[in-house]
């Protein structure tokens, strides 16, 4: 099945679609066949949209035949996380609370993808209310990791991570409040980008936090990530969280040499609690970047010892976001999300203010360090994907829960970048001895995504994970 349509990347497909060598209808049929084959195994969708997708594919093909090609996403089948509003299509946020909710308009990013000619094939499964790292959904069933189906795909955008890795979608739009794009990318061996806070509109992101949530792409390659971000980035006058800054060409630096760049290797926090196989893979990736001419410098982030305080603010934000539903549909909540959310009512104003002070101190510290280096390198997660039936993970002799209160360990490497708002992405850097993906996280300066793409693309070419896909994907190259 080498080079079967569903196994290609957006960058490979786009010029062929533009040249009318590949039909969006043919491509959509191939993707829907892959979705039909793997949905019973992965449970990666809450709502599949085959009829709508085929109608849209015909419309997009007709537009291309008329000479109306719109760009790299034109005719490309994609997935949308089910906490992003889609007009006329139920959008559940993975909860029974909103099981029958049908929005009247699209999220801004969905509108942008449609305008670019993308074809939505379904709404993807996730952790209930996007609140967790597993995607073990009580109401719609657990999402399975295509590398090992008895393991989690990460959360909360687990359906998107599983679909991209298994060649069910070419890209999926996920959301990232504590690592929910980068986590599934890490656990599923694909690329996940959380761009700078304010770069992409959050309008239409349902039941979200008011501080640090992002919408970002999950893709099969770094180049594809740049292409998708190009479509969804930009100032939205109806979303005050967006920043009116120019949108650069995110692909402009791809292929440029890395020699002369400086990377910061944190001496504290990020490597303090990490599995041995994960650390080995990340350290090898650092060595590979050095071989490409990047200078490594150790950096210290002492304020990160207080990073746990950031969760206090998140608890209070979560309670406020859920208040309308808690008063009317409390019985429809899963217990993990309910108890996690209710804890926010005990956060005092003074506690919240202190958490905001810590957040400011950490932001200042990252700003200082990123004047000394061009980007930071860390693990994407302390551990590889654990089994779906696992309740705890043991690391360095300590046991940590993987769901609910106390489960912050699973996102400890990704969540700081939500508090700082800095761009961060996960790129595959290897596999464990059990054949589970490991991710490398790159963190950059605000609004310097092109530099992160440059580094990630350079590393991707030498990564031991290059070209690796799970057997379920049906790819042989």
For 365, the token pair is 């510290």
For 163, the token pair is 């679909």
Cis bond upstream, residue 156 (ω within 30): yes
Give the CA count within 13 Å in the CB-facing half-sphere of 251: 13
Distance CA 25, CA 77 (A): 10
Distance CA 477, CA 465 (A): 13
Find all residues with CB under 8 Å of 389, minimum gap 6, and list them: 150
Per DSSP, the residues of 212-267 read S-EEEEEESSHHHHHHHHHHHBS--TT-TTS-------TTTTTT---TT-EEEEES
Buried b (16+ CB within 10 A) or exposed e, 198-226: bbbbbbbbbbbbebbbbbbbbbbbbbbbb
Distance CA 41, CA 223 (A): 29
> Annotated active-site positions, please?
81, 156, 180
Question: Which residue in this structure is represented by tokens 């986590």?
Answer: 183
Helix H or strand E encompassing 306: none
Q: Which of these, 108, 133, 110, lies nearest to 122 by C-alpha position? A: 110
Helix H or strand E encompassing 317: helix 310-329
For 272, the token pair is 């303090």
Burial class (CB in 10 A: 0-12, 13-18, 19+), 392: middle
CA 383 to chain centre: 17
Distance CA 373, CA 295 (A): 9
Distance CA 330, CA 323 (A): 10
Neighbouring C-beta atoms of residue 476, cutoff 10 Å: 11
Whether 161 and 192 have beta carbons less than 8 Å apart is answered as yes
């Amino acid at each position: 099945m080498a080079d079967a349509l569903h196994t290609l990347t957006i960058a490979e497909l786009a010029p062929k679609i533009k040249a009318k060598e590949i039909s969006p209808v043919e491509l959509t049929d191939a993707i829907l066949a892959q979705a039909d084959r793997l949905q019973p195994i992965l449970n990666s969708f809450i709502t599949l949209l085959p009829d709508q997708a085929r109608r849209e594919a015909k419309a997009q093909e007709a537009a291309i035949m008329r000479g109306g090609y719109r760009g790299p996403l034109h005719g490309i089948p994609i997935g949308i996380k089910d906490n992003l509003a889609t007009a006329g299509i139920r959008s559940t946020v993975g909860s029974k609370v909103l099981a029958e909710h049908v929005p009247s308009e699209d999220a801004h990013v969905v509108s942008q993808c449609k305008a670019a000619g993308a074809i939505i094939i379904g709404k993807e499964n996730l952790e209930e209310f996007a609140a967790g790292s597993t995607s073990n959904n009580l109401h719609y069933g657990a999402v399975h990791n295509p590398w090992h189906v008895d393991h989690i795909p990460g959360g909360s955008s687990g359906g998107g991570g599983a679909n991209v890795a298994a060649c069910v979608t070419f890209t999926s739009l996920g959301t990232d409040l504590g690592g929910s794009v980068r986590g599934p990318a890490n656990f599923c061996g694909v690329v996940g980008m959380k761009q700078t806070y304010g770069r992409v509109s959050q309008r239409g992101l349902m039941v979200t936090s008011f501080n640090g949530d992002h919408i970002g792409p999950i893709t099969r390659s770094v180049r594809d990530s740049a292409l998708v971000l190009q479509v969804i980035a930009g100032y939205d006058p109806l979303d005050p969280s967006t920043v009116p800054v120019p949108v650069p060409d995110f692909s402009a630096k791809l292929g440029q040499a890395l020699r002369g760049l400086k990377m910061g290797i944190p001496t504290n926090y990020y490597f303090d609690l990490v599995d041995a196989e994960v650390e080995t893979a990340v350290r090898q990736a650092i060595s590979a970047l050095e071989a490409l001419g990047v200078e490594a410098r150790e950096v210290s982030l002492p304020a990160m010892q207080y990073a746990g305080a950031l969760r206090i603010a998140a608890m209070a934000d979560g309670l406020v976001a859920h208040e309308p539903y808690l008063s009317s549909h409390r019985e429809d909540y899963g217990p993990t999300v309910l108890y996690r959310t209710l804890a926010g009512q005990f956060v005092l104003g003074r506690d919240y203010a202190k958490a905001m002070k810590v957040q400011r101190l950490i932001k200042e510290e990252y700003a200082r360090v990123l004047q000394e280096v061009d980007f930071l390198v860390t693990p994407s997660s302390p551990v590889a994907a654990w089994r779906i039936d696992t309740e705890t993970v043991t690391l360095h002799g300590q046991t940590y829960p993987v769901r609910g209160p106390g489960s912050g360990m699973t996102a400890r490497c990704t969540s700081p970048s939500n508090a700082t708002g800095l761009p961060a992405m996960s790129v595959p850097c290897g596999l464990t001895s059990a054949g589970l993906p490991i991710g490398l996280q790159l963190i950059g300066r605000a609004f310097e995504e092109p530099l992160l793409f440059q580094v990630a693309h350079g590393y991707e070419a030498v990564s031991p994970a290059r070209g690796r896909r799970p057997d379920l994907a049906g790819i042989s190259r």
